Structure formats: C-alpha cells, structure tokens
Amino acid sequence: MDTEKLPRKLEPKLVFLKGALDDLGLLVYCNKPLIIFTLIVVCIAAPFTKEIRFSRVHSDHQVLYTDRELEIVEGEGRRVTNAQSGHRVSRRPLAFNGKYLSLYTDRLPPDGFISFKYSFSVDRGGVYKLFVAGSPPGSAEIEMGMNYSPYEVRVDKEPPLLVSAERKHAKLKKIFGHAFYSEYVYASGMTFTKIGGFDLAAGKHTLEFIISAPRLGTDKYFFRLDTFFLVPQNWKPQKEFLTFPDDLFSY
C-alpha cells in the first residue's frame, strides 16, 4: 500500500466532514437558547408524563377494585400449587396490585403438569364471565410467534378448558371481526383473556390453572398470572375508564 497516497484519498471526505461539523456548530450556536429550553422541557416532562400515566392507570384499577359486583383474585394470592420450583411473585408498576405470579421452568412435577389453585366466592348466583389478566396464551397447534405456554382452566369440578392463542383469536374474530383484545396490552407483556361464562351458585368456588405444555418450539414452561375477574352478566363500569376500553368486559 502506498501510504503517501492515502491522505490524498481521504482529503475530500475530511473536508466534507469538517464542513458538516462547522454547519452543525453554527446551527447549535444560533439555536442555543431553543435547544437548552427543549432539553429542560424534556427532562422535566418525561418523569411528569410517567407519573400521569401511572395515576391514570391507578384510577382505572380503583374503578374495578371498588366495584362490589366484581370478584377479583390476585395471581400472587395462590392457595395451593404442586410446582416445586420455577415460580415466584414478581413486581411490575402497571400490574394490578403492582405484583403478579410468574412461572418459568423446564421441569414438570411428577404429576406431569403444574397447577395453581385459587378460592373465591360470589354473593349472588348467576352467570359470570371469567377474564384473566396476565400473559397472553401461547400457541397449542401452530407457530404464531407467541412466547408463553397455552394453559387450561378448571372451575370447580367442571372439565378443564384449553386456553390457547388459536382459540382466543378465533373467538375474538367471531365476535368483533378482529382480534383487538388479543393485542391490547395494559402492562408490559400483559393482556386480558376471556375464558368463558360460568353459571355459579352463591358461595365458595375454586379455580385452577393447569400448565402442561411448554411454549412452542422450546422446553420452557412460561406463564404469568396477574389477576382474574368474575364479571356478572351485563356489568357496566361505575365511571368511565381513563386508559382501559369502556367495553373491556363486554364480550
């Protein structure tokens, strides 16, 4: 390589770079007050905007928590589980109660499945819609890019219902013509999933989540449960939501 010719080859590029830097310096110098003001506004507004977001979500949580018609059970309040390891309570600011149950493991107990059981009660008998807030259900049949395990839900002694991405998408498209509620994310990695409607007598009941299949294409069992809701038929929120869709539990 002829080292004497190398600087001559670079000279046009260096001249262009110097000119660009001079132009940038002139731009900054001429707009220094505006740039400083913009930086100050961004530094002040960013955390303030975050606080507003948290405040609005908290307000929506209170709409649900203060409604006596709803039965709300937190995922971290599990009563019985056969999982020996791989599950814990994690924190997330926008999650309900700021916490959720997280499962991530490559091992199943001797039963061949992982079970999380909960107890709840309803004051009046009738049909209740069961909505789960947590990780979206993963694929059970075909690859759909989901990162979580499909799971089953058993209410009392009824046969368990499979909850998978395919079933959720099919149900939403049948009702709405699209899968909006499959894509609606209220916190990072958290969505709402309707399990079904159940005719419940007044009194105590049990609900069990059963995970027996890994997320598609891996050997990992991945599941997150934030909260589940028992919603009476024809329920309407007592006040308008600020961040949640008004028809969140309508279908």
86 plus 207 within the same structural domain: yes
DSSP 160: P
Each as own residue / partner, the long-range contacts of residues 107-111 (CB below 8 Å, 24 or more positions apart, any chain) are: 108/212, 108/221, 109/82, 109/83, 109/84, 111/82
Q: How far is CA 58 from the centre of its chain?
A: 16
Q: Profile the chain (251 residues) by mean pLDDT over runs of 10 residues.
A: 50 57 59 61 55 84 94 89 91 92 94 95 95 92 73 95 87 75 82 94 96 90 96 92 89 81
Domain contains 221? yes
Contact by Cβ (8 Å): 130, 204: no
Structural domain span for residue 18: 6-56
pLDDT at position 1 is 46
Structure tokens at 175: 């009702």
101 plus 191 within the same structural domain: yes
136 plus 200 within the same structural domain: yes
32 plus 102 within the same structural domain: no
32 plus 101 within the same structural domain: no
188 plus 213 within the same structural domain: yes
Tally of domains within the chain? 2
119 plus 155 within the same structural domain: yes
39 plus 136 within the same structural domain: no
* pTM confidence score: 0.77
Domain contains 163? yes
Report d(CA 51, CA 116) in Å as an integer: 34
Report d(CA 89, CA 224) in Å as an integer: 10
28 plus 101 within the same structural domain: no
Contact by Cβ (8 Å): 146, 215: yes
pLDDT at position 6 is 47
Residues 6+ apart with CB under 8 A from 114: 81, 82, 83, 87, 103, 105, 108, 210, 211, 212, 221, 223
pLDDT at position 188 is 87
pLDDT at position 208 is 97
Contact by Cβ (8 Å): 14, 21: no
